[in-house]
Structure 1
């Protein structure tokens, strides 16, 4: 078995070159008869796409996009669920050297527009039912295409029409290791969301985690449940299985249902499941016995730390342990207990511990002031040692130099995650808190200021403060303290009206579960809001 360090070096040598072509690496080099994706519909009926099908369909679409004027470096946003349409669209974009901007379908129109504007998108490709979110008072600077057979609005395109309109062979563009392939937006503690620019060389980190962290092999039936608008859904639901030439499942359902999840696990004989803590918590609350046809052999979790109670339940129910993994949109996943064979003795699963550094990474905990490694067992800032992490790839946020600078120590040797924790004597990471105040709810990362900005636009709101509320299923819910504007009172129904306001202008998963009306917000002597006191 190759040494992990050598295998990481080999991946970097393959993916970080001047001639790197994403479409070749994710599709064209694989067996055209092998299954790439099995899309599962609401009735659990499958639709299969081979690598050969993916190659032909993405080439046809790329030809049409090129005829539309889309070329290298152009940003194409998607409002598409997991499945075949998204895979074909992504490969077509990458054939042209374009940059994919995946967006959450749950976003409200204003949140979508903010990200389209921030990424300078040239084209938006969406489901027909999402088309209404793109309506604007003035003609937008981007083209719009839907996946239905007919245009939804005058001037719109359809994927089918684009695939038939091009002339000549589709270009196969090499972007090189530094060439951007995606922009993924993350919520910020203050201000608008930040665009994380993902270069082609990040494919090495994705392949490494697919192999070592998730432990996916050629015989696996692999299912990643994450939304493709999130980093885990894009990196390891779309990209890494295609990169490795592995088949993957994509459930095309607009809701999470524990019974449906168990049906898919059993009917499709899933052996490798990658999901989030909310899924495990919901299954725990709704499941008493596991159907005998469920044969999962490897389980992993990402997004937030699993509680010891959930880990114990999953192990007892499935008969195999769930491996917790730590990472960020800006990194991929860099620490955890591997599901794949690294050649090292198997790490002991310790409740409350995420695990050690994965191959290609060196995760450390630094002193708060000196940036020196903290003593064993001492709390500090979780950081990635860039000198010992060949898989690191993040260099900064899109058009946001100030936010980029605070992610690195002054000497540039460490990437600062913004999280705190400790390392134990065995090198296992114990996550503590998030310094940036982000709220993780139902697997989504929400910046409090984003919700506050939306609430403050309501005429009844003078000012507000948003905070996290612990929840057994969601992990965290969103709470809001509201100071009412002059002339408004805390009438019946106002709290629900504010929730709907956030749903319609941001996203349903960002709507506050708890709304309280207060006379004033807690502040310091200088007037800064004291978020810790909001609870």
Structure 2
């Protein structure tokens, strides 16, 4: 049984979030032994991310760049603080929300979305950010699960959330009582309401152990899982990976593609830069060209996106100046070594790969620069510990494939969900990944536990085959899954997107199969190859292998 550390008393008037934390014996062990993780009992992470910089005389420093119909603009830390204060007043005075109530956020990557997020936290609310592409049925699940009473919504994304407010709609969520739209000139919109409230806003005196964020996992099937994170969790993710691996400071400028509703984007594009007094560029709907243009225009030093985007960008970098770029961080799905090498050849930069997860809020294994080792994601981020275990939770020796187990200052606390006991075992978080660790503590990804292909008694990792196929000059993208087979149990099937100028035919299939046999053990070659125009991906860039399986 895991002992839960004593929690600082909650400041919340509405106590649903704390009341619905998992049972004590299902919590992971939390580690706070590092000095940077010693947080006072009363702390509001929005104050730490914004207000402290203004108080320390850095209010004139640029915090965020954005773009609207009138063109490019920026907010300094003092201006961002003023926006946050105005929104917080609307939340508490106009909407009458009290601490602990859940606030759904719906918007793309924009300065207003960032300000709404921080205002909700500053007001002592529990923010529930949602992906822009979610539909009414998915939003209803989240609203009902988190018992969300109010929402702030980008006016351009109002239709689907509007269905949740319509009493006669199939996806009506009666618990949601009020919605205010932002990025609108309407007299009842958020911007107009903010104009009434010019005064400062005193941050709610939250506890370090008050829930401030319910992040719902992306790309999964079935009922959504809400992961609950405390104020200290948001700060801990900022005080470890960007500090020890990226060596972030106030001179950094960041950009990228993951939505701030996704914890990869929330950290990389919002919390990390603000924690260090740095600057973020929040623009929506990036292409490879616009992301490269953003790096060049704003003098970006850190970029966060998925492997697919880096592969697309690699062929275009010659047209841009990327001299300021120091770190390119990849996460969200496995990084093929072919993509890493392609990017390094094009830019001279070593990719920073990382594995994290919504349950643990951000990256806990990664290496950068000279510490990068071919074929490996890297070593544990300082503050975390990890090991490889078998089905009985016994530690296996270096070089043996098994399940990844991790613990640190952050960890899984599902919102009222029986799946908590599957994710946490013996005080360890089990992210569901198959890994191997070498004698030097470098961790190499094999596959998701449920993505391992067992064919004729052999364990075959789909990402290994994908990595081999990606080195073929005709392959633009690919995804590999196991499909049922009477003789072998499963056989390997590859779904391939070809580059322009290449023909999908039997000759190409034989060539791809022969190529894989030369690159890795021959028994792993794809016995079936299916050609697609595009691979199914989530909004965060993750390959949806379950959809590939459904194509069988």
> What's the TM-score bracket when you normalise by the shorter of the two chains?
0.7 to 0.9
Cα deviation for residue 159 of structure 1 reads: 0.9
List aligned pairs for 1:438-517, cutoff 5 A: 470-471=495-496
Cα deviation for residue 71 of structure 1 reads: 1.7
User: d(CA) in 1 for partners of 2:368 and 2:200?
Assistant: 43
Contact in 1 for aligned 2:256/2:291 (Cα 8 Å): no
User: d(CA) in 1 for partners of 2:292 and 2:82?
Assistant: 34
Contact in 2 for aligned 1:290/1:317 (Cα 8 Å): no
The answer to whether the aligner puts 1:295 opposite 2:324 as a matched pair is: yes
What's the TM-score once normalised by structure 1's chain length? 0.74
What is residue 263 of structure 1 aligned with on the other side?
293
Count of aligned pairs between the two proteins: 437
Contact in 1 for aligned 2:412/2:423 (Cα 8 Å): no
Contact in 2 for aligned 1:262/1:294 (Cα 8 Å): no
What is residue 350 of structure 2 aligned with on the other side?
321
Cα deviation for residue 170 of structure 1 reads: 3.1
Relative to structure 1, the CA distance from residue 74 to residue 382 in structure 2 (aligned partners, 3 Å threshold; closer, same or farther) is same
The answer to whether the aligner puts 1:227 opposite 2:259 as a matched pair is: yes
What is residue 201 of structure 1 aligned with on the other side?
232
What is residue 455 of structure 2 aligned with on the other side?
none
Cα deviation for residue 151 of structure 1 reads: 4.5
What is residue 509 of structure 2 aligned with on the other side?
none
What is residue 351 of structure 1 aligned with on the other side?
374
Contact in 2 for aligned 1:125/1:146 (Cα 8 Å): yes
Cα deviation for residue 169 of structure 1 reads: 5.7
Cα deviation for residue 229 of structure 1 reads: 1.7
Q: Deviations over 1:270-313 (max 9, x none)?
A: 222222112112223x4273524543122221112211111111
List aligned pairs for 1:140-151, cutoff 5 A: 140-142=174-176, 143-151=178-186
Relative to structure 1, the CA distance from residue 228 to residue 473 in structure 2 (aligned partners, 3 Å threshold; closer, same or farther) is farther
Relative to structure 1, the CA distance from residue 65 to residue 190 in structure 2 (aligned partners, 3 Å threshold; closer, same or farther) is closer
Relative to structure 1, the CA distance from residue 361 to residue 290 in structure 2 (aligned partners, 3 Å threshold; closer, same or farther) is farther
Q: Choose which of 38, 55, 74 in structure 2 pairs with 1:13.
A: 38
Q: Choose which of 372, 375, 383 in structure 1 pairs with 2:397.
A: 375
User: d(CA) in 2 for partners of 1:183 and 1:354?
Assistant: 27
What is residue 433 of structure 1 aligned with on the other side?
447
Q: Deviations over 1:490-509 (max 9, x none)?
A: xxxxxxxxx9xx99xx9898
- Of the structure 1 ranges 371-380 and 167-176, higher mean CA displacement relative to structure 2 is found in 167-176
SS at match of 1:406: helix
User: d(CA) in 1 for partners of 2:429 and 2:229?
Assistant: 16
What is residue 61 of structure 1 aligned with on the other side?
87
Cα deviation for residue 435 of structure 1 reads: 2.0
Could you say what the CA RMSD is over the residues aligned between the two structures, in angstroms? 3.5
Q: Deviations over 1:41-70 (max 9, x none)?
A: 589x53111111111221122112111111
User: d(CA) in 1 for partners of 2:181 and 2:82?
Assistant: 20
The answer to whether the aligner puts 1:360 opposite 2:383 as a matched pair is: yes
User: d(CA) in 2 for partners of 1:338 and 1:397?
Assistant: 31
User: d(CA) in 1 for partners of 2:232 and 2:182?
Assistant: 30
Q: Choose which of 126, 149, 154 in structure 2 pairs with 1:99.
A: 126
Q: Please list every run of 5 or more consecutive structure 2 residues that lacks an aligned counterpart in the other structure.
A: 1-30, 453-461, 467-480, 482-491, 500-533
User: d(CA) in 2 for partners of 1:22 and 1:114?
Assistant: 28
User: d(CA) in 2 for partners of 1:508 and 1:188?
Assistant: 8
User: d(CA) in 1 for partners of 2:363 and 2:544?
Assistant: 29
Q: Please list every run of 5 or more consecutive structure 1 residues that lacks an aligned counterpart in the other structure.
A: 1-5, 340-345, 442-447, 449-466, 475-498, 517-530
What is residue 485 of structure 1 aligned with on the other side?
none
User: d(CA) in 2 for partners of 1:425 and 1:324?
Assistant: 20
Contact in 2 for aligned 1:8/1:359 (Cα 8 Å): no
What is residue 481 of structure 1 aligned with on the other side?
none
User: d(CA) in 2 for partners of 1:88 and 1:313?
Assistant: 37
What is residue 47 of structure 2 aligned with on the other side?
24
- Of the structure 1 ranges 26-35 and 268-277, higher mean CA displacement relative to structure 2 is found in 268-277
SS at match of 1:174: coil
What's the TM-score once normalised by structure 2's chain length? 0.72
Q: Deviations over 1:429-478 (max 9, x none)?
A: 0111112559999xxxxxx9xxxxxxxxxxxxxxxxxx99645699xxxx
Cα deviation for residue 97 of structure 1 reads: 0.6
User: d(CA) in 2 for partners of 1:273 and 1:265?
Assistant: 8
Cα deviation for residue 117 of structure 1 reads: 1.9
User: d(CA) in 1 for partners of 2:122 and 2:415?
Assistant: 22
